[in-house]
Amino acid sequence: MGEAAARGRKSIGAKRNPESADAIIEAAEAVLREAGYAGFSIEAVARRARAGKPTIYRWWPSKAALLIEIYQRQKHVETPDTGNVEDDLAGFLENLFAHWRDTPSGNIYRSLIAEAQSDEAAAAVLAEYSRERRSHTGRIIERAKARGEVAADVDAGIVADLIASYAWRHLLTGRLGEDEAAIRAAVGYITRGILTA
Amino acid sequence: MGEAAARGRKSIGAKRNPESADAIIEAAEAVLREAGYAGFSIEAVARRARAGKPTIYRWWPSKAALLIEIYQRQKHVETPDTGNVEDDLAGFLENLFAHWRDTPSGNIYRSLIAEAQSDEAAAAVLAEYSRERRSHTGRIIERAKARGEVAADVDAGIVADLIASYAWRHLLTGRLGEDEAAIRAAVGYITRGILTA
Amino acid sequence: MGEAAARGRKSIGAKRNPESADAIIEAAEAVLREAGYAGFSIEAVARRARAGKPTIYRWWPSKAALLIEIYQRQKHVETPDTGNVEDDLAGFLENLFAHWRDTPSGNIYRSLIAEAQSDEAAAAVLAEYSRERRSHTGRIIERAKARGEVAADVDAGIVADLIASYAWRHLLTGRLGEDEAAIRAAVGYITRGILTA
Amino acid sequence: MGEAAARGRKSIGAKRNPESADAIIEAAEAVLREAGYAGFSIEAVARRARAGKPTIYRWWPSKAALLIEIYQRQKHVETPDTGNVEDDLAGFLENLFAHWRDTPSGNIYRSLIAEAQSDEAAAAVLAEYSRERRSHTGRIIERAKARGEVAADVDAGIVADLIASYAWRHLLTGRLGEDEAAIRAAVGYITRGILTA
DNA sequence: TGCTAATCGAGACGGTACGTCTAGTCTTTTT
DNA sequence: AAAAAGACTAGACGTACCGTCTCGATTAGCA
């Protein structure tokens, strides 16, 4: 199905046609994969899905909403739990970079961030999503605090922010291929500091 | 002058007319200021500058090129030199946030990053610019290393990257109003680490 | 209605909106009437009709197609039937000149001929139209042949060609105000010849 | 020379440089020959002639003026003098059709007529030129009148008009390849009429 | 002999129009 | 009654020419 969306797909009456929704989602992914964010338009998605634009607008009020949905459909990256905060953070970043690099996720998220720069709604949705992720990453720190590995007065949110920032910037500047050493060094500075002992 | 570009501005002949260039730059700034990135179009700039579109395309082959130029025209943020790396970095970030918050620079840079997500050329130009800035910020670290304040084996580029990443993310998520405490905490983690002593 | 196209004219749904088509046709006529062929642009028509350019291009692929349509919408000139070939031909020319002079038709047809000089498609469409008209005018001759008034071996097509040529040239050189005497003389030469008896 | 216009052709001082004029004329011909009227622009001619646009505008205020000049540079068609008006007229038309068909003249004249439909100046110049030609062709008739072959009260101008009209229409509708028989028939109707004896 | 004025190629300028693409909205048709 | 899908207005895209203007160089002809 999907892109190949049944040539003559029809309305199934007075309720949402899940075939159409699927076809649209899959078309959106395909367009993003093949033409990138530059070629990603509602128009292009509609063409590819053999759907009318209003059908898309009915269910996703903006490009951003569609991006969010297809991003969330991707399977998520796992946060390791090694018992060591440095390994946890570095491992998380390595997984995240690999995930962004090897699946459409990276492109999708990148697009979403770009979209949020000119679309209020996208910005809101992204902010909400970021808040969630922040607390998620923060859990790595909280666990370490519970273990006594990390100082109790450390603000987990700010650390999560630093980690997420590092990831974002690499995503946005196309540097997801960075070697592990750099990631480990960056994480090391956050955990152990850069001052002379 | 400028945006209001003298009603009767004319060509000054067979070489570039600086009046036109200025009018275009200033119109671009004004459009960005008043309509944001969403409303920033070559067409709008041309209208505002009372310039022909081809005149813009002659000198700036893309929206990104124009953005870069107006960004570089802004006066730059200064990097403090207090003799203490933590104060230097925090001060730099505070200055940068204030600069981005209080001048059009923030909006421009934000737009440029967004543009780079769909425009190859913009990405290249932004990468080059980032490289420059990275080494610039790195100097704060190098100075501290020279003072013996920072360990000699610390990679200044990676630290600069962490700092820039933090700044980018706050810019892109509209969190430039962050209180100083958060900035200081983030910088503190980078300099002193988060592990228990 | 029409040119003044209801300020808020909207789509009427998933089929061609005749209101829009009418507004476009009428705007095209108005532009041609007021600004002449020189000022006749798709852009101007769209502006005047409060239509989007793509709506025009959707239905009329070229300026020529639009010209043809508005020409054919004009009411046609009638061919008299007096029982005398000379009066028929002269009357036809007089009617045609008056029609071209007093309605937008002349301007439209002139424009179409001009357009055909640089647009292949326009040329084809004009050729087809001319063929039709030729046979139409030829009928005057055929009738006279049936009456025995005109020699049986006369090629009606060629006579029609002579008549149409005379009309075209007067149209294209802005000499539609010619006095009847000249028309009658020209027709007289064709019917009775110029040689001495 | 000409199109290949001396790479470094320069001003020769405070007077018109005939080399430039020639290069422009020749470039205009070449452009018309190769790209047709549709591709004929002052810009294209200037490019081809390695001339500045103002140099063209200085000497030919409009496209039409340039067209007129290059048309007049073509060698003219000769009007035969056989002692028989019918042969003279048919011969003239045959020569003219061949001339228009086999040299750039046809294209040039066609363009000029088209141009005159939207350019007042072109129309004026064309009218003047037509007047000249009319009297020229009229001479064939005058000669025949002098011989007593044609009735004394025949208006030579109107006959010339009929002949020129026939030629124009064939030029404008791309029917210059017409067989001699059709031309002879058309001329025959003008000289001997179409009525039954 | 040196100055003035016109000419040249070059090309920038403000504009207009081109024909295409996308954004969102509206309304008919279909189920 | 709601879904689907084409048509619609609006306007930006990047390009081609328009006709005008200014530049710097070049040179003829007057002083």
Other residues' Cβ atoms within 10 Å of the Cβ of residue B65: 18
Rg (CA), chain C: 20
- Strand E, nucleotides < 7 Å from a protein CB: these are 4-31
Q: Give the model's pLDDT for residue A4.
A: 32
Pick the residue from chain A with its C-alpha nearest to B175.
A127
Residue A118 with chain B: CB contacts under 8 Å: 36-38, 111, 114
Residue B185 with chain A: CB contacts under 8 Å: 155, 158
CB B186 within 8 A of CB B194: no
pLDDT band (50, 70, 90) for residue C120: confident
What's the gap in Å between the CA of C58 and the closest CA on chain D?
23
- Mean pLDDT, residues A25-39: 94
Residue D150, strand partner residues: C195
Ranges for all domains in chain D classified under CATH 1.10.10.60: 2-60
pLDDT band (50, 70, 90) for residue C10: low
Other residues' Cβ atoms within 10 Å of the Cβ of residue D192: 15
CB A63 within 8 A of CB A119: yes
What's the gap in Å between the CA of D147 and the closest CA on chain C?
11
Indicate yes or no: CB of C191 within 8 angstroms of CB of D191.
no
Give the helix ranges, DSSP H, for chain D: 18-35, 42-49, 53-59, 63-73, 85-102, 105-116, 120-147, 156-172, 180-192
Pick the residue from chain C with its C-alpha nearest to D130.
C173
Q: Give the model's pLDDT for residue A6.
A: 37
Residue C195, strand partner residues: D150
Distance CA B158, CA A16 (A): 50
C120-147 helix and C63-73 helix, angle to the nearest 10 degrees = 30
pLDDT band (50, 70, 90) for residue D1: very low
- With an 8 Å CB cutoff and a minimum of 3 pairs, decide whether chains D and A touch: no
Give the helix ranges, DSSP H, for chain A: 18-35, 42-49, 53-59, 63-73, 85-102, 105-116, 120-147, 156-172, 180-192
Distance CA C167, CA C182 (A): 12
Which nucleotide's C1' sits nearest to the alpha carbon of B55?
Answer: E13
Indicate yes or no: CB of A191 within 8 angstroms of CB of B193.
yes
In this complex, the residue with its CA at the shortest distance from the C1' of nucleotide F1 is A14
Task: Classify residue B13 as exposed, middle or buried by CB count within 10 Å of its CB (0-12, 13-18, 19+).
Answer: exposed
Distance CA A99, CA A71 (A): 12
Distance CA B164, CA B156 (A): 12
Which nucleotide's C1' sits nearest to the alpha carbon of A47?
Answer: F5
What digits encode the pLDDT tens for the residues C132-143? 888 989 999 999
Give the contacts of C87 (CB within 8 A, at least 6 positions apart). C80
Maximum Cα–Cα distance across chain D: 71
What digits encode the pLDDT tens for the residues A40-75? 999 999 999 999 999 999 999 888 889 988 988 888
pLDDT band (50, 70, 90) for residue A9: low
Pick the residue from chain A with its C-alpha nearest to B85.
A195
What digits encode the pLDDT tens for the residues B113-167? 999 999 888 898 889 889 988 898 999 999 999 999 999 999 999 999 999 999 9
Give the contacts of A42 (CB within 8 A, at least 6 positions apart). A53, A56, A57, A63, A66
Distance CA D82, CA D64 (A): 36
Q: Which residue has the tokens 């780079």?
A: B116
pLDDT band (50, 70, 90) for residue A119: confident
Ranges for all domains in chain C classified under CATH 1.10.357.10: 73-192
Which one, of A59, A101, A61, A58, lies nearest residue A77 by Cα? A101
Protein-to-nucleotide distance from the CA of B57 to the C1' of F15, whole angstroms: 10
Q: Give the model's pLDDT for residue B196.
A: 76
What's the CATH number for A73-192?
Answer: 1.10.357.10
Instruction: Report the SS3 class of residue B170.
Output: helix
Q: Which of C67, C84, C117 should one mutate to test binding to chain D, selecting the residue with the greatest count of D CBs within 10 A? A: C117
* Mean pLDDT score of chain C: 90
Indicate yes or no: CB of D38 within 8 angstroms of CB of C154.
no
List of long-range contacts for B172-178, beta carbons under 8 Å, 24+ apart: B172/A113, B172/A116, B172/A117, B172/A168, B172/B110, B172/B113, B173/A116, B173/A123, B173/A126, B173/A127, B173/A130, B174/A123, B174/A127, B176/B97, B176/B100, B176/B101, B176/B106, B177/B97, B177/B101, B178/B97
CB B70 within 8 A of CB B28: yes
Neighbours of chain A (3+ CB pairs under 8 A): B
Which one, of C122, C127, C100, lies nearest residue C112 by Cα? C122
Distance CA C133, CA D52 (A): 47
What's the gap in Å between the CA of A185 and the closest CA on chain B?
8
Residue A173 with chain B: CB contacts under 8 Å: 116, 123, 126-127, 130
Rg (CA), chain D: 20
Q: Give the model's pLDDT for residue A19.
A: 77
pLDDT of C182 > 90? The answer is: yes
B105-116 helix and B18-35 helix, angle to the nearest 10 degrees = 90
pLDDT band (50, 70, 90) for residue A194: confident
Query: Over pLDDT 90: what percentage of chain C?
Result: 71
CB A136 within 8 A of CB A157: no
What digits encode the pLDDT tens for the residues D22-70? 999 999 999 999 999 999 999 999 999 999 999 999 999 989 899 989 9
Angle among Cα B164, B170, B172 to the nearest 5 degrees reads 100
Q: Give the model's pLDDT for residue B192.
A: 93
Indicate yes or no: CB of A189 within 8 angstroms of CB of B154.
yes
Give the helix ranges, DSSP H, for B1-84: 18-35, 42-49, 53-59, 63-73
Indicate yes or no: CB of A162 within 8 angstroms of CB of B161.
no
Tokens at residue D137, please? 């062709």
CB A178 within 8 A of CB A186: no
Q: Topology of domain C2-60, per CATH?
A: Arc Repressor Mutant, subunit A (1.10.10)
Protein-to-nucleotide distance from the CA of A45 to the C1' of E21, whole angstroms: 14
Instruction: Report the SS3 class of residue D195.
Output: strand
B120-147 helix and B105-116 helix, angle to the nearest 10 degrees = 120
Distance CA B169, CA B161 (A): 12
Which one, of A102, A101, A100, A92, lies nearest residue A184 by Cα? A92
pLDDT of A17 > 60? The answer is: yes
Q: CA C138 from chain center: how many Å?
A: 17
